[in-house]
Amino acid sequence: MCGRYNLTLPPEAIRQIFAVVNEIEPFPPRYNIAPTQPVHVVRAGPHGRELTLMRWAFMPSWVKDPAKFPLLINARAETAAEKPAFRNALRRRRVLLPATGYYEWKREDGRKVPFLFEAGHPIALAGVYETWHGPNGEEVDTVAILTAEATGTAADYHTRMPLTVAGPRFEEWLDPANDDGQKALAWADRGDYTARPVSVRLSNARNEGAGLLMPDPAAPPEPAPVMDEQPSLF
């Protein structure tokens, strides 16, 4: 799965990499992007590619009560083209989520340790979005990240991994005129990553800052037991 990622690129770099045409509000680096938070998304707009914010928790337009609907943060690439929740979004509402890495957890020495997966360059996570219409006229754009069976280094940590889209495929992926959802998945692929441990403080979505990218200090060695001094018999 993909349940946490980061985006530390400056806005101007995002503009250049993704050829964004709209104005971008300044925003700080984000080291701990979590589900239900607003996330930056690139989509096709009437005048070119737009960078906008969406809620990372996919909500089909036909949902009546969000409180009773499960939290959908990922869409399985193998079944998204047939699933009622994702089928239409995969056909016409594909997006890119700019990122600099993603996180996965692995149990080591009896505790879950987060690892940062990096490709050595910025990545574009493959996503789908839907606009949910509330009973009071409210509209909320919501997004999910596509995942597939993990390969390479990622497979040592989890069975799933996010799909990404390479720069030459951005146009095809984002174009809603390419409305064959199953074919569109061929434009997304698995990345090649390195993994390194980071701070367990990442597990709390409220924690932020570059310090999360550093592994926690090793636990100090257990002190040798102090023996009571005994009188010498010699």
> Do the beta carbons of residue 43 and residue 174 sit within 8 Å?
yes
C-alpha 170/C-alpha 178 separation (Å) is 12
- Report pLDDT for 1: 76
- Report pLDDT for 224: 44
Indicate the CATH number of 5-101+122-149+159-189 among 3.40.50.1240, 3.90.1680.10, 3.50.50.60, 3.40.50.10860.
Answer: 3.90.1680.10
C-alpha 232/C-alpha 167 separation (Å) is 78
Give tens-digit pLDDT for 115-173.
999 999 999 999 999 999 888 888 999 999 999 999 999 999 999 999 999 999 999 99
Intervals of the chain under pLDDT 50: 220-234
How far lies 50's CA from each of 39, 44, 184, 187, 231, in Å? Answer: 13, 6, 20, 20, 81
Residues paired with 43 in a beta bridge: 50
Give tens-digit pLDDT for 110-122.
889 999 999 999 9
Locate the domains of the chain by residue range. Answer: 5-101+122-149+159-189
Q: What amino acid is encoded at 124 in this protein?
A: A
- Report pLDDT for 221: 47
DSSP string of 65-119, one letter each residue: -GGGS--B-EEETTTTTT-TTTHHHHHH-EEEEEESEEEEEEEETTEEEEEEEE-
Of 12, 78, 104, 171, the active-site residue reads: 104
- pTM for the model stands at 0.91
Terminal-to-terminal C-alpha distance of the chain: 67
- Report pLDDT for 231: 37
Does residue 2 carry a catalytic annotation?
yes
Q: Which H or E run contains 51?
A: strand 48-56
